[in-house]
Amino acid sequence: MEIHNGYNSLSFVRPVVTIGIFDGVHRGHIALIRKLISAAGECKGESVVMTFNPHPRLVLESRSGIPGILTTIDEKVKLLAETGIDHLIISEFTSRFSRMTASDFIQNVLVGKIGTKHLIVGHDHHFGYKGEGNFSNLKLSAGISGLIVEQLEGLEAEGAVISSSRIREALLKGKLDEANRWLGYSYSLRGTVVEGKKLGREIGFRTANINPSDKNKLVPVDGVYAVDVRINDSQWHGMLSIGTNPTVNKDPELRSIEVHIINFEGDIYGTGLEILFRHRLRDEIKFENTEQLARQMMIDRDNALKLLE
Q: Per-residue pLDDT tens for 209-255?
A: 999 999 999 999 999 999 999 999 999 999 999 998 878 776 667 88
Please report the pLDDT score of residue 44 as a whole number.
96
Residue 277 clears pLDDT 90, i.e. is over it: yes
> Which pLDDT band, with edges at 50, 70 and 90, does 132 fall under?
low
Q: What is the pLDDT of residues 86-105, one digit of tens each?
A: 999 999 999 898 888 877 88
CATH number attached to the domain at 2-161: 3.40.50.620
Q: What is the pLDDT of residues 33-43, one digit of tens each?
A: 999 999 999 99
Please report the pLDDT score of residue 199 as a whole number.
61
Please report the pLDDT score of residue 146 as a whole number.
76
Mean pLDDT value of segment 104-111 = 88
CATH number attached to the domain at 187-308: 2.40.30.30
Contacts of 183 (CB under 8 A, 6+ apart): 24, 26, 27, 70, 167
DSSP string covering 256-277, please? Answer: EEEEEETT--S--TT-EEEEEE
> Which pLDDT band, with edges at 50, 70 and 90, does 204 fall under?
confident
Location of each CATH 3.40.50.620 domain in the chain: 2-161
Collapsing DSSP to helix, strand or coil, 12 comes out as: coil
The 10 Å Cβ neighbour count of residue 183 is 25
* Integer Cα distance of 240 and 200 in angstroms: 12
Rounded percentage of the chain residues whose pLDDT exceeds 70: 91
209, 195 Cβ separation under 8 angstroms:
yes
* Integer Cα distance of 179 and 198 in angstroms: 32
Residue 133 clears pLDDT 70, i.e. is over it: no
For residue 142, CA distances in Å to 43, 82, 108, 153 come to 19, 30, 12, 19
104, 137 Cβ separation under 8 angstroms:
no
163, 24 Cβ separation under 8 angstroms:
no
More confident residue, 155 or 199: 155
Q: What is the pLDDT of residues 141-178, one digit of tens each?
A: 666 667 888 999 999 999 999 999 999 999 999 999 99
Q: What is the pLDDT of residues 65-79, one digit of tens each?
A: 677 999 999 999 999
Amino acid code (one letter) for 246: P
Sign of the Cα pseudo-torsion (58, 179, 175, 280, in order): negative
Least confident of 124-138, 162-176, 262-276: 124-138
- 301 Cα distance to chain centroid: 27
Residue 61 clears pLDDT 70, i.e. is over it: yes
Average pLDDT of the chain, as a whole number: 90
Q: Which of 85, 109, 146 is nearest to 6 (CA)?
A: 109
Residue 54 clears pLDDT 70, i.e. is over it: yes
For residue 144, CA distances in Å to 39, 111, 148, 149 come to 22, 11, 10, 12
Q: Is the pTM of this model over 0.75?
A: yes
Residue 64 clears pLDDT 60, i.e. is over it: no
- 75 Cα distance to chain centroid: 7
Collapsing DSSP to helix, strand or coil, 193 comes out as: strand
Location of each CATH 2.40.30.30 domain in the chain: 187-308
Write down how long the chain is: 309
